[in-house]
Structure 1
Amino acid sequence: MQRRDAIEKIMDSIDDELVVCNIGFPSRELYDIKDRDENFYMIGSMGLASSIGLGLALSRPDKDVVVIDGDGALLMNMGSLVTVNACKPRNLTWIVINNGAYGSTGNQETYAKDLDLVEIADSIGLESHDFNAIGLKRLIKDDKCNFIVFNCKPGNSTAPIIDLTPEEIRDRFTKAITK
């Protein structure tokens, strides 16, 4: 299974949740699979999807927020684990797709291939799960802050370029979250 397959499985569990997606190919794949106004596609800010998702979850406690992140992005902002754990918003589900590669820059290996990200998140107190052993929809709705790791193989699909400008992405997402 590759990242695109993982994103398809994640989106099968999404209804009206706000979704923040990591930069590059993950955003392109999400856009191709299920574009919605409630999706925020990251552009050029690797490692910050979790921080944006945390801010959304804290500012919109009435909405469930799902972050689709990558192992490389998590490694770039490991401090976000501690910050999310300190805040523990009950409406945040942070999913890290661990393919052991920086997919958007040529599939160079990350150090995550040698790490147990669930164990790391558990060690700081986050409610952590392996995607293969969970009911995702239940966790998104369970009123807990959840950290989920979905392990898959590296590789990019032939997803198209997002044909929205950064301003259009921002504006339509802002409109969607202020309804």
Structure 2
Amino acid sequence: MRRSTLARIVADVLAEDDIVICSLGSAGRAWREASAPNLTYFASDPMGMAPSLALGFALSRPDDRVVLIEGDGDLAMNLGVLAAIAGAAPPNLRMVVFANGRYETGGGQSLAGRLDLGAAARACGWERVESPPADADEAAVAAAVRRMYDAEGPAVVVQPVESEASPYPKAGRWSQADDKAVFQRRLAARDESGGRT
């Protein structure tokens, strides 16, 4: 499955008022290209911190569903966060891992060993883990994403995706600080207008 296909499947399942946190790298770029209407924060460096950010966000905003769009390389940089999330058990947190087995953006290096992030999540105490096989068709993956979405969190889908060339993009229009400020303003405006939109 291509990253763009998985991003579209996820976008089709999410409600417009869900808040999305994206890790740096190819998973986040696939989400940006999906043009989903969700209020989205695109995390930047340091690599591996997006899950911690999503956990903090979910805990601080219990009335909002928070969905983390994550790459397996990014998650591999901070595996301990799986235990932290399981321990905190925020019911409003969901995660979709785009698992290509590589640090795609950083040069395409393979992840060390045979990392099974679904098994790692289960070992850390996650009860709701979906791990469709690499050859699953779109309908099966969409069903897994829907089960993850409908379950009480924390819940995760770890979906194998094809390894695709993903050079690091040119610098964006704004700095990371500017992106953060825009996200915060949009979030505040949403809250002032009665919360969920």
Output the TM-score relative to the length of structure 2.
Answer: 0.80
Helix, strand or coil: the match of 1:12? helix
| Partner residue of 1:143 out of 132, 143, 152 | 152
Consecutive unaligned residues in structure 1, runs of 5 or more: none
CA distance in 2: counterparts of 1:64 and 1:107, whole angstroms = 32
In terms of mean alpha carbon deviation, does 152-161 or 62-71 score higher?
152-161
Please give the residue correspondences for 1:13-52 in structure 2 after superposition, counting only pairs within 5 Å: 13-15=13-15, 16-34=17-35, 36=37, 38-52=39-53
Superposition deviation, residue 158 in structure 1: 8.2
Matches within 5 A, 1:95-134: 95-111=96-112, 114-126=114-126, 127-131=128-132, 133=140, 134=143
> Quick one: distance in 2 between partners of 1:136 and 1:45?
27
Q: What is residue 167 of structure 1 aligned with on the other side?
A: 177
| C-alpha distance 81-51 of structure 1, shift in aligned 2 (>3 A) | same
Instruction: From the superposition, tell whether residues 89 and 24 of structure 1 become closer, same or farther in structure 2 (CA, over 3 Å).
Output: same
Q: How many angstroms apart in 2 are the aligned matches of 1:96 and 1:148? A: 6
Percent sequence identity is 29
Q: What is the Cα-based RMSD across aligned positions, in Å?
A: 2.3
Instruction: Write out per-residue CA displacement over residues 122-157 of structure 1, whole angstroms, 9 at most, x where no aligned residue.
Output: 122102111455442443243321022011111146
Question: Which structure is higher in RCO with an 8 Å CA cutoff and minimum separation 6?
Answer: 1
Question: For the Cα contact (< 8 Å) 1:37–1:172, is it kept in 2?
Answer: no
* Contact 1:37-1:173 at 8 Å conserved across structures: no
Instruction: Tell whether the 8 Å contact from 2:96 to 2:158 is kept in structure 1 after alignment.
Output: yes
Out of 152, 159, 169, which is 2:161 matched to?
Answer: 152
Unaligned runs of at least 5 residues, structure 2: 192-197
1:120 match: secondary structure: helix
Give the TM-score taking structure 1 as reference length.
Answer: 0.87
Question: Residue 195 of structure 2 corresponds to which residue in structure 1?
Answer: none
Q: Distance in 2 between matches of 1:173 and 1:49?
A: 15
- Looking at CA atoms only, which structure, 1 or 2, has the larger radius of gyration? 2
